[in-house]
Amino acid sequence: MHAGTSTTHDAHDVHDHIHPPPEGFVRKYVFSLDHKVIGFQYFFTGLLIMFIAGSFAELVRLQLTDPKGAIMSHQAYNTMFTMHGTAMVWLVLIPLVTGALGNFVMPLQIGARDVAFPWLNMASFWILPLAALILFSSLLFGGPHAGWTEYPPISLADGTAGALWCAAIFTIGISSTMTGLNFMVTIMKMRAPGMTWTRMPLFVWATFATALMNMIATVALSAAVGALFLEHVFNVPFYDAARGGSAVLYEHMFWFYSHPAVYIFIIPAFGVVSEVIPTFSRKPIFGYKMIAFSSMAIAILAFTVWAHHMFPSGLAPWLQLPFMILTYAIGIPTGIKIFSWMATLWGGRIHFTTSMLYALGFLITFTFGGITGVFLASVPVDLHAHGTYFVVGHFHYVVAGGAVMGFLAAIPYWYPKATGRMLSERLGQLGFWLFFIGLNGTFLPMHWLGLEGMPRRYASYVDFAKAVPDAVFWNQFETAFSFLMMASIGLLAFNVIWSLRHGKVAGINPWGARTLEWTISSPPPYYNFKKVPEVYGRPYDFDKPLPYRNTDNELDAFPEYGKTVMPTPQPVGAGV
């Protein structure tokens, strides 16, 4: 990133190669190299696809209001849940939590002017719409049907649509790997002077752990879908048992990626919660080191548990044992984190902003998803619950109740920094309650439906409804509640657009937060930091001055520097 053009400013400072901002619409907003703009691009693309994938989910839910299947053929239904899962995982969650949040927040939090490889970053983003285009074009060929896992041999029946699915996943995998590499190098090499590893904000730790997993795990997925593509197009029998291949091989490679992928969504959410809870409790995060190291422990253990998705699928019986034990082991660092967040709340001065509500909601729903995860880790119980709605309920608690809630906590938190305006708290808090109630109403009943005998990926459930007549009621109940979540996301989109113009002006630090991004103007200038700040402590000591030297001049005009300027506290649930 040394264009060699003259620097605009402070030529005597060795660190200060400030490049002039680009000119022209295209360089500024389309093919931008600025990590903040790229973050926005990820955000809006991800949100748009979230609507599409969410509508697919609503169609799935509507179909299940009648045991015979209310609105579409089995074939169409199978396409819907496949597209819902695929798009949510690869085109929504990963781009939103790594692409949007990681890009916007991480460089600001480490006091960097951009990521290490801005061109790579731009390329990573532009791969996303390309992959989306490939994936959605598969609908023209009937769409893929075999679920987001696309296990062969059944997925081989998808023909062209299946090949396009592979191509889309392979393509987005390139983006994930590049982003992982980019963020790792950025965090390792571009931290502000004095920001040692143990002074990094916890969101940066989370991004680091995520980047590591993204970089290592995605390759396995690319191999799995690459081989599937060859089988689709050239009939190379990697997975066809009749010709010497193995169907279980695909499952191993797929889950070697897709188990860590769950942590790729969830660890950034951990990072968000670790920022939001101290800020709105006016307290240092409890157990900084434990939280930071447990993220790394989870990231590493995540690579050792993949076959817990395959207990009944054809593992050697003895092999079930190590995977069960290692999966239990992940419960320990996860538990430590949850208890540390709870301890951070203790003795705090808790402000119920939208972000904080989402963070509190996260603690409850994510814990529930974690506990049901322990049920599934146990081989004997999994032999019953595998492949049922219990699993669907479990992972939606983790993904929607964990990753998405974390993301929804992040939006109101960093939106003021990104745009200079606050989101409406009223709409935000209403959105929280809709989401929280909708989520529990949709996914909680799935647990007992699954244990009672309802397999997942069922376009109709006539026989099951005969055995368990209540199933019809519960399915309709879930469908009704799922629309609350949809409404909440709609409200968020409205809020995001409306507040761009009408939101309250945010100022530098509306939350009295203490990480580096809150020391520069909102929105930050193109170069982020006029002077590279120096760091001499952790960011979470609310009773001390900020641990930074050499911060921007802008800050001098900010009289409350080092103090908090929290808006007047609101009682519980205010603004709803």
Partner 1 sequence: MVLTLLSIVNALYFLYGSIDWIMPGASQPVTDRASDIDGLFKFMAVFGGAIMLFVAGYVIYFAIAFRARSSDSPDAVGVQIHDAPKLELWWTVLPTLLLIVLTGLSIVVWYKIQFGTAAPGLTTEVIGHQFYFEYRYPGLKTSVFSKTSPMHLPVGVPVRLLITSTDVIHQFWVPEIRLKAAAVPGLVQNLNFTPLRTGTFDVACSEFCGVDHSLMHGKLVIEPVAAFKKWLDSENKTAAAAGGAINLAAGTPATGQALFAQKCAACHQIAPFEQKLVGPGLLHITDDPAHPALVTGKTPTPEHIAEILQNGFTGPIGTMPNRQANGLSNTDIANLVAYLSSLK
Residues 251-290 that bind Cu ion (CB under 5 A): 259
Please identify, using beta-carbon distances, which residue of 208 and 461 lies nearer to partner 1.
Answer: 461
- Contact partner, 504, from Cu ion, partner 1, none, Cβ < 5-8 Å per class: none
Contact positions with partner 1 (CB under 8 A) in 60-79: 74-75, 78
> In whole angstroms, what is the distance from residue 506 CA to residue 412 CA?
11
Please identify, using beta-carbon distances, which residue of 540 and 548 lies nearer to partner 1.
Answer: 540
What is the number of alpha carbons within 13 Å of residue 268 lying toward its C-beta?
Answer: 36
Question: Per-residue b/e over 56-79, b at no fewer than 16 CB within 10 Å?
Answer: bbbbbbbbbbbbebbebeeebbbb
| 153 near partner 1, rule: CB under 8 A | yes
Q: How far is the CB of 273 from partner 1 (least distance, A)?
A: 12
Q: How far is the CB of 99 from partner 1 (least distance, A)?
A: 30
Contact positions with partner 1 (CB under 8 A) in 538-567: 541-543, 563-566
Q: How far is the CB of 64 from partner 1 (least distance, A)?
A: 10
Please identify, using beta-carbon distances, which residue of 190 and 377 lies nearer to Cu ion.
Answer: 377
User: CA 24, 91, 54 angle in degrees (round to 5)?
Assistant: 115
- Contact partner, 565, from Cu ion, partner 1, none, Cβ < 5-8 Å per class: partner 1
Specify the stretch interacting with partner 1 by CB under 8 A; choose among 124-132, 203-211, 321-329, 518-526.
321-329
- Contact partner, 259, from Cu ion, partner 1, none, Cβ < 5-8 Å per class: Cu ion
Contact positions with partner 1 (CB under 8 A) in 120-149: 145-147
Q: Which of 140, 322, 569, 576 touches partner 1 (CB under 8 A)?
A: 569
Backbone angle region of 548, left / alpha / beta, with phi > 0 → left and psi within -120 to 50 → alpha: beta
| 575 near partner 1, rule: CB under 8 A | no
Pull the structure tokens for residue 291.
Answer: 């939280």
> In whole angstroms, what is the distance from residue 491 CA to residue 428 CA?
8
- Contact partner, 5, from partner 1, Cu ion, none, Cβ < 5-8 Å per class: none
| 380 near partner 1, rule: CB under 8 A | yes
How many Å separate Cα 418 from the centre of its chain? 18
Say if CB 24 and CB 31 are below 8 A apart.
no
Q: How far is the CB of 30 from partner 1 (least distance, A)?
A: 40
Q: How far is the CB of 63 from partner 1 (least distance, A)?
A: 10
CB proximity list for 264: less than 8 A, separation 6 or greater: 94, 97, 98, 176, 210, 213, 214, 217
- Please name which of 273, 447, 433 lies closest in space to residue 360, comparing C-alpha atoms: 273
Please identify, using beta-carbon distances, which residue of 64 and 434 lies nearer to Cu ion.
Answer: 64
Helical H runs in 239-348? 247-281, 288-301, 320-345
Specify the stretch interacting with partner 1 by CB under 8 A; choose among 169-177, 189-197, 368-376, 486-494.
368-376
| 283 near partner 1, rule: CB under 8 A | yes
Contact positions with Cu ion (CB under 5 A) in 288-347: none
Q: How far is the CB of 185 from partner 1 (least distance, A)?
A: 30
DSSP-derived 3-state class of residue 202: helix
Pull the structure tokens for residue 438.
Answer: 């909708």
Please identify, using beta-carbon distances, which residue of 455 and 490 lies nearer to partner 1.
Answer: 455
Q: How far is the CB of 537 from partner 1 (least distance, A)?
A: 12
Please identify, using beta-carbon distances, which residue of 7 and 304 lies nearer to Cu ion.
Answer: 304
Q: How far, in Å, are 155, 237, 244, 251, 455 from residue 315 at the CA level?
A: 21, 21, 18, 11, 21
| 145 near Cu ion, rule: CB under 5 A | no
DSSP-derived 3-state class of residue 549: strand
| 571 near partner 1, rule: CB under 8 A | yes
CB proximity list for 249: less than 8 A, separation 6 or greater: 238, 239
Length of the chain: 576
Please identify, using beta-carbon distances, which residue of 36 and 259 lies nearer to Cu ion.
Answer: 259
| 395 near partner 1, rule: CB under 8 A | no
Helical H runs in 138-198? 159-189
Q: Which of 331, 420, 507, 575 touches partner 1 (CB under 8 A)?
A: 331
> In whole angstroms, what is the distance from residue 143 CA to residue 558 CA?
55
Q: How far is the CB of 160 from partner 1 (least distance, A)?
A: 16
Contact positions with partner 1 (CB under 8 A) in 432-471: 447-448, 451-453, 455-464, 467-468
> In whole angstroms, what is the distance from residue 284 CA to residue 345 CA?
10
Please identify, using beta-carbon distances, which residue of 259 and 421 lies nearer to Cu ion.
Answer: 259
- Please name which of 289, 291, 276, 286 lies closest in space to residue 344, comparing C-alpha atoms: 286
Question: Computed over its alpha carbons, how large is the radius of gyration of the chain?
Answer: 24
Contact positions with partner 1 (CB under 8 A) in 286-305: 286-290
- Contact partner, 550, from partner 1, Cu ion, none, Cβ < 5-8 Å per class: none
Residues 182, 173, 262, 76, CA torsion sign: positive
Q: Which of 193, 314, 469, 545 touches partner 1 (CB under 8 A)?
A: 314
What is the number of alpha carbons within 13 Å of residue 514 lying toward its C-beta?
Answer: 31
Return residues touching Cu ion (CB under 5 A).
Answer: 259
